[in-house]
Structure 1
Amino acid sequence: MNILQALFFPPEQPGGVSSMIPYIQERYTKKGWDMELFSLPKRVRSKGTEEVVFQTFDWKKYAGNAIVDKYIQTYKDYVWWTRMRLKKKYDLIHAHHPIAALVMKQLFPETPVVMTIHSSYERELVLNGKIKEGGPEHVFLTSIYRELEEKVNQIVTVSVSFKQYIADYVQDPDKIGIIPNGFDEKRFRPIPHENAVPQLISVCRLVPAKGLDILLQACAELKSKGHPFVLHLIGDGPSRAELEQLAVELNIYDETIFYGYMLHPEEFMPFFDIFVLPSRAEAFGSVFAEAALCLLALVGTNVGGIAEQIENGRNGLLVPPEDPHALAHALEKLIADPSYRYALARSAGEKAKKTYSLNRVIRQMTKMYEVYKTKPAD
């Protein structure tokens, strides 16, 4: 089959999609499949001019709103770039962003398009304080799910919890498939080590949705109880200055290292002991599986896809969101008992290898793709 993987961001950008799709392409190429990657370069801005029309709702009711207008202009830019760059036909297009899916179906109406929804843009905006739930931007963005249902051939998402979330915005949620993300084990090389001082690490965009303010409060509690630690924060984002100031106010700035953006954090992770991320919401949480494959003990919040990866007390610890005391208590248990920490890390690694292997993703995707194979003429 000749398959196009239609991304939004270029594949070198951070995140669960970019951690997976290039490795999937490599595997399929080895199997003899023809697979290409396509995305919208960041430098393409305000080039598209074609009218945008959705079938299931009138987006112009929300025009004049900055977030909606930017979304529509990005859609137009994706149309412009796609028309200019894609001249050949494909047997199947697999899109990984709503804009990519809808544009591809518009420009290649006879080509089957499957769509993997990896995360919720509107939920992140709500949690980051950018929009209000039920406001015009929220209604516009959630209406896109119904448009996708109407236009594409198959919708897939990455966790049971995220399928349940989308169910409120489509007519037939039973038709939504689930293919959790997968990871190439060769990328992860656990390193035996003994750190005299426990090393905590978190990898994410520095935005309110990730709950790093809660993590810093929990670490302040650890310090007040006399527990030594170093907190490594890998990632960048609009909350960085605010978080650095909070670390100063909580008197843990000397224990906290802000690294900024790093392209391959998995090369860094194996030297640490505990991965912790108290997200307020998470569709899947690819970084937890990545940390598990590096044999780190996991601490996360009982939300979304995190709770599907971590079985509390068996391969990690779960705490409620917005609860710095509970988070501090979980971290304290792992800091105080290295044997327990190692046991959880081993269990997490075993589950990740079994459940989130790239081979499993390839099998599931191949089964989905083969539904759309062109049948030979009689």
Structure 2
Amino acid sequence: MRVLHILNHTRRLNGHVHAAVDLACAQIKLGHQVYLASEGGDFDTLLKAKGIETLFIGHERKIPSLLRALSRLSSYIKKYDIDIVHAHMMTSAVIAFPVCKLRRVPLITTVHNEFEKSATLMGLGTRVIAVSDVVGASMRRRGVPQSKLKVVLNGTIGSSRSEGRSEEPKPLRSPSILFVGGLHPRKGLPDLFDAFETVHRSFPTAHLYIVGDGPFREEYKARAAALESASQITFVGSTRDPYPYMLGADIFVLPSHADPAPLVLSEAREAGCAVIGSSVDGIPQLLEDGEAGLLVPPRDPAALARMLGHLLEAPERIADWRQKSQFRIEHLTIERVARETLEVYYSAMPRGKAVPLAT
């Protein structure tokens, strides 16, 4: 099968980009011909090394740019005899929809950020992939018929992005609590600060590490600096690979207010962390509804503090939840994601059109 992925760019530190790059590389491994069209970015070198041809399509939301994008996409579909176009963001879907209609090529869309109002436009796809059950339910409420909707839960284990990464744990001060994510309100980091301040009074040697960057970095640093526990909080900043921090951490915490299916939970579980996540959106599904990680209500620092204290007061509990993090871990592989996505492609193909099956 000849697949063309289209997304805004291929820059790091964007969950939808990581998911699309992982999927494209996994499809190549399964024997398919894969192309990726975007404005380019950090992952173009990796894509080329894996045999994925990168193509340019501008995504600037201005009429002349969009018209050029329509023309360019149409020429790519014709030149490479594309069987499936897979769009990963709203602008990509809007660009691809009329061209796919004209060329009679199925358009697959993946809803990565369901919390955005524009996610409704992902319903333009011939088939719509939701990255968790909660996202699928949300898209049904927005009017996407069940017949064109399919849930393919995110997973990262075995991805090409992880090849060659360091397996050496970072030497973190134990007991260590780790957050990895963007520094913006949706991730709920202020709740973690408040919970850690409470925990610090009973466990003054506990240390909190914040890995990531974002528009609220300075505000969050100032907030942390005003706490009694400030000396026990370290802002690591942005890093190309947070996995060594996960390997070195005792407890991984994701206190999100909204998170459709965060890839970071797959990575934290692969690293063997004891995981605490807020019971919102796709987080419970990624933690096997509490069997592979502990769940707390979102926006509830007191509940998060109690859960952290529950683990910190008995190190054997941390060890127990480290082991539990491996429950059904094989379900979070990128190969499973690729195979389920290919099944969606086949279901969208016109009847009578033969395509090679995955190897």
Q: Does 1:14 align with 2:19?
A: no
Q: Does 1:375 align with 2:353?
A: yes
* Structure 2 counterparts to residues 159-308 of structure 1, below 5 A: 159-170=132-143, 172-173=145-146, 175-185=148-158, 187=162, 197-308=174-285
2:327 maps to 350
1:114 maps to 108
1:31 maps to 30
Shift of 1:310: 2.3
Deviations 1:285-329 (A, max 9, x none): 221111000100101111111111225663221111111111011
Residue pair 1:96, 1:116 contacting (<8 A) in 2 also: yes
Distance 2:9 2:232 in 1: 34
Distance 1:338 1:174 in 2: 48
3-state DSSP of counterpart to 1:164: helix
Residue pair 1:199, 1:231 contacting (<8 A) in 2 also: yes
Q: 1:85 to 1:153 in 2, by over 3 A?
A: closer
Q: 1:196 to 1:338 in 2, by over 3 A?
A: farther
Residue pair 2:85, 2:100 contacting (<8 A) in 1 also: no
3-state DSSP of counterpart to 1:304: coil
Q: 1:289 to 1:83 in 2, by over 3 A?
A: same
Query: What amino acid sits opposite 2:207 in the alignment?
Result: V
| 1:364 corresponds to which of 340, 345, 357 | 340
Instruction: List runs of 5+ in structure 1 lacking aligned partners.
Output: 43-70, 123-140
Residue pair 1:78, 1:100 contacting (<8 A) in 2 also: no
3-state DSSP of counterpart to 1:205: coil
Q: Does 1:154 align with 2:142?
A: no
Q: 1:75 to 1:298 in 2, by over 3 A?
A: farther
Query: What amino acid sits opposite 2:135 in the alignment?
Result: F
* Structure 2 counterparts to residues 15-164 of structure 1, below 5 A: 15-41=14-40, 73=61, 77-81=65-69, 83-84=71-72, 87-89=75-77, 90-109=82-101, 110-122=104-116, 141-142=117-118, 145=120, 147-149=121-123, 151-164=124-137
Shift of 1:195: 6.5
3-state DSSP of counterpart to 2:75: coil
**RMSD in angstroms over aligned alpha carbons?**
2.8
Distance 2:181 2:63 in 1: 26
Q: 1:76 to 1:214 in 2, by over 3 A?
A: farther
TM-score by length of 2: 0.82
Q: 1:182 to 1:279 in 2, by over 3 A?
A: same
Q: 1:267 to 1:19 in 2, by over 3 A?
A: farther
Deviations 1:340-376 (A, max 9, x none): 212212221232x222111211221121222327725
Shift of 1:198: 0.9
Residue pair 1:40, 1:78 contacting (<8 A) in 2 also: no
Shift of 1:93: 0.4
Deviations 1:37-96 (A, max 9, x none): 122358xxxxxxxxxxxxxxxxxxxxxxxxxxxx98268645534534763321110111
Distance 1:195 1:261 in 2: 17
Residue pair 2:130, 2:152 contacting (<8 A) in 1 also: yes
Deviations 1:130-181 (A, max 9, x none): xxxxxxxxxxx35x61x443x3211110111111222221152453110011
Residue pair 2:69, 2:95 contacting (<8 A) in 1 also: no
1:3 maps to 3
Query: What amino acid sits opposite 1:316 in the alignment?
Result: G
Distance 1:5 1:259 in 2: 33
| 1:321 corresponds to which of 261, 283, 298 | 298
Query: What amino acid sits opposite 1:365 in the alignment?
Result: T
Q: Which moved more, 1:94-103 or 1:210-219?
A: 94-103
Instruction: List runs of 5+ in structure 2 lacking aligned partners.
Output: 42-58
Distance 2:64 2:277 in 1: 38
Query: What amino acid sits opposite 1:355 in the alignment?
Result: H
Residue pair 1:314, 1:344 contacting (<8 A) in 2 also: no
Distance 2:276 2:322 in 1: 10
3-state DSSP of counterpart to 2:91: helix
Query: What amino acid sits opposite 2:142 in the alignment?
Result: Y
